[in-house]
Amino acid sequence: MKKVSIIVHQQQVEDVIETLHETGVAEIIDISKDDPELLKETERATTHPEASNCSEYELRLTRLIDILKRTQKKPSGIKALLHPALPEKTYVDPNSLDELYSNAESILQDIEQTCIEYDEEQHALQQKIDDLEEELHHLQVVQSFDFNLKDLGTSQYLYIVAGTTHDLSAVTQNLKVISDEIELFSHAFGTKKERKWAVVIASHISFKEAVDKLCRDYIETFTFAHYDGTPRSVFSVVQKHISEFQDKKQELVHGLSTYALSHLQELLVLREEIRLERFRKEISKNFAKTMSTYVIKAWVLAEDEQNVKQQLIQKTNDSIIYESKKPSANPDNPPTYMKLPKWAASFQTLLELFAIPKYNELNPTIPMGIFFIIFFGVMLGDGGYGLVIFILSLFGFFYIGKSSSMIRTFSFLGIWLGLTTTIVGFLTNSFFGDFIPQFIYHDPDRLIFSLTIFGIHLPVESLKDPLLLLTIALVFGLLHMNLGIVLAIIQTTRNKQYKELVTNHFSWILLEIGGGLLIAENLLKMMTLTTLVQYIAAIFVVIGLILRLLHSGPLGFFDITGFVGDWLSYARLLALGLATTGMALAFNIVAMLFATMIPLEIVALIVMSILLVGLHLINLLLQALGAGVHSLRLQYVEFFNRFYSGGGHKFKPFSIKRTYTTTKRGKIS
């Protein structure tokens, strides 16, 4: 990474901004945060005056786009998955800001007022429809009562109210307290749990105040003062009004959809061009300026620095002052650029969930991603589940991924997760649990396959030989943790932190070698060491302990117990694998038991198939979630704890991102 400083005359600052934007390899630095001392001799630049005009046009265009987009029917369900809608790209020639304004005014003058009027009228109609539908619901509740709606409310002698209540007994009792002469009509509706009553109360005008108080406490009242007729007759009238308003609304939607077909793409293209211009006009707020010059600072990758310099010199006819320097991690705090191959792009997202590496810190993305895939496969560990993930990921990669780079990236990760899980499943004799031996071979003790390689018999049945799988899990743990120690040694050597290297990281190597040899001989009885090797092992342990005490003080002993605890955490590889296989096996048994209870064979087969699909789907979702979470935990805690701290910020270049436009004719879709 290089830190670039550019001094340019104010007449050519637009050319410099345009060049930096088009090359797209420089992250503009906010000088007010990076170098406040410089602002004591200069002043902070402001946003270009045209930025507000760009924002205004962008806002007006966005409003029209939102209105027209609402009229488009978007595919849903399977059709949307099989045929995802891709944004159309239109070729554009370079236009000046005045030309963009002129184009915007031209199209806005043609359709803006009409579209807004259509949209406002559509909203007004929808509000009327909503109000009428609410009234329709109220009428439906009281349509069994035979009275004229215009009689509701106050007349010369009577006061009549209609509504609903949750507590009919309370209403009845309170009315009796008020007067025995008050009439109450009611009928029940709704379910037992949501039982309600429609009520109509007719009383003398003198009881109005008391009835109103009762309504406030127990009754949700309705008002139909503008209708004349019984609830049943008015019900059909309101339905007719709703239908008429819906027809009018549909006419407006049709009119807007016609505008959308003619102008939507043009609006999207124009908004994107103006938005890019706004970005250019707003970026100057990060600069410093004098009476006649601007000072620009930026981060540029070392490999791109010469190219940027040459383009700036060419664009300004060599009339800029250009300086670059190699930054230091402190106090410059440069951004972090993580250069990864395409196949590892999804790993970067997993790393960002934890933390971005600091500048010049080792990037653990690739080893983290590889071990994540391996651990996920071991934890899920079922060939059938892996095959499902593999097929769905292939579908996502080749079909759904056409419209979303994010889906395509994670589908690629899913392909590897599914493939690894499938391989582990076959190596441990698990394909939807014991589906193949149980339902295909009809012999629960039969293996999917049988093969011996280098004296090792495959497959290894996880439920019958868990100790072997536990050993494999702990071996994976040692490899994973020691890879972290190796990366820590590389990092501290690069940073010339030699004390940290010896007392912290090298001490673990001595303790592991020495302690491992002594434990293997004395506790596990796996080998017999010569006296010389025993002494060397003991010396390694003593030196390792001394180094741990030098690094952590008296708490160094707890570092060792913590290391052992971290190592034992890898036993979860076995635990989750056993859980997946055990649950799958149990679901197979449940499906078979239900099938045996049904006398008709074809019905039994259908029920068993439905149960197998449903139960295994649930198991796949739950176990895949557990495998993903626990595999990430092993990366974030046990692995990163050896060497990685993070805390950096991502390199974000000032670049052009186009969705609806292109400047290359070959890119038009």
**pLDDT, tens digit (0-9, with 9 covering 90-100), for 586-597:** 999 998 888 888
Please check whether residue 668 is in contact with residue 91, taking contact to mean a CB–CB distance below 8 angstroms. Answer: yes
Q: Are residues 473 and 594 in the same domain?
A: yes
Q: Which domain, by its residues, includes 439?
A: 342-643
Please check whether residue 236 is in contact with residue 135, taking contact to mean a CB–CB distance below 8 angstroms. Answer: no
Assigned token pair, 664: 């290359």
- Would you say residue 475 lies in a domain? yes
- Would you say residue 384 lies in a domain? yes
Count up the domains in the chain and report the number.
2
Q: Are residues 523 and 414 in the same domain?
A: yes
Residue of 566, 548, 564 lying closest to 556 (CA atoms): 548
Under 8 Å CB-to-CB from 637, ≥6 apart: which residues? 566, 569
pLDDT of residue 120: 93
- Would you say residue 34 lies in a domain? no
- Would you say residue 5 lies in a domain? no
Assigned token pair, 286: 């990060």
Domain boundary among 185, 220, 241: 241
- The SS3 call for residue 587 is helix
Residue of 642, 303, 357, 370 lying closest to 490 (CA atoms): 642
Phi-psi region of 449 (alpha: psi -120 to 50; beta: other; left: phi over 0): beta
Residues of the chain with pLDDT under 70: 75-84, 225, 665-669
Assigned token pair, 153: 């409310």
Whether omega before 331 lies within 30 degrees of 0, making that bond cis, reads yes
User: What's the CA gap between 591 and 583, in Å, rounded?
Assistant: 12
- Would you say residue 138 lies in a domain? yes
pLDDT of residue 83: 64
Q: Are residues 234 and 371 in the same domain?
A: no
pLDDT of residue 385: 96
Residues forming beta bridges with residue 183, ordered by sequence position: 202
Please check whether residue 187 is in contact with residue 197, taking contact to mean a CB–CB distance below 8 angstroms. Answer: yes
Q: What is the CATH number of the domain that holds 143?
A: 3.30.70.2750
| β-pair type (90-91, 661-662) | parallel
Domain boundary among 215, 241, 267: 241
Under 8 Å CB-to-CB from 64, ≥6 apart: which residues? 108, 111, 112, 115, 116, 267
Residues forming beta bridges with residue 44, ordered by sequence position: 288
Q: Are residues 574 and 458 in the same domain?
A: yes
Please check whether residue 505 is in contact with residue 492, taking contact to mean a CB–CB distance below 8 angstroms. Answer: yes
Please check whether residue 380 is in contact with residue 624, taking contact to mean a CB–CB distance below 8 angstroms. Answer: yes
User: What's the CA gap between 589 and 443, in Å, rounded?
Assistant: 13
Q: Tokens 């820590």 map to which residue?
A: 488
Type of residue at 244: E
Under 8 Å CB-to-CB from 140, ≥6 apart: which residues? 235
Please check whether residue 386 is in contact with residue 425, taking contact to mean a CB–CB distance below 8 angstroms. Answer: yes
Helices marked H in 35-96 = 50-69, 77-82
- Rounded to 5 degrees, φ, ψ at 665 are -60, -30
- Would you say residue 477 lies in a domain? yes
Assigned token pair, 120: 């406002």
CA dihedral 177, 179, 182, 184 (to 10 degrees): 20
Domain boundary among 224, 241, 258: 241
pLDDT of residue 81: 61
pLDDT of residue 194: 84
Q: Are residues 449 and 597 in the same domain?
A: yes
- Would you say residue 493 lies in a domain? yes
User: What's the CA gap between 370 and 378, in Å, rounded?
Assistant: 13
Under 8 Å CB-to-CB from 613, ≥6 apart: which residues? none
Q: Are residues 237 and 347 in the same domain?
A: no
Residue 218 has what DSSP assignment? H
Task: Measure the CA angle with vertex 405, ends 71 and 307; round to 5°.
Answer: 115
pLDDT of residue 73: 76
Residues forming beta bridges with residue 187, ordered by sequence position: 198
Q: Are residues 236 and 349 in the same domain?
A: no
Please check whether residue 128 is in contact with residue 136, taking contact to mean a CB–CB distance below 8 angstroms. Answer: no
CA dihedral 260, 263, 265, 267 (to 10 degrees): -110
Residue of 167, 162, 163 lying closest to 195 (CA atoms): 167
User: What's the CA gap between 166 and 193, in Å, rounded?
Assistant: 11
- Would you say residue 64 lies in a domain? no
- The SS3 call for residue 285 is helix
| β-pair type (288-289, 219-222) | unpaired
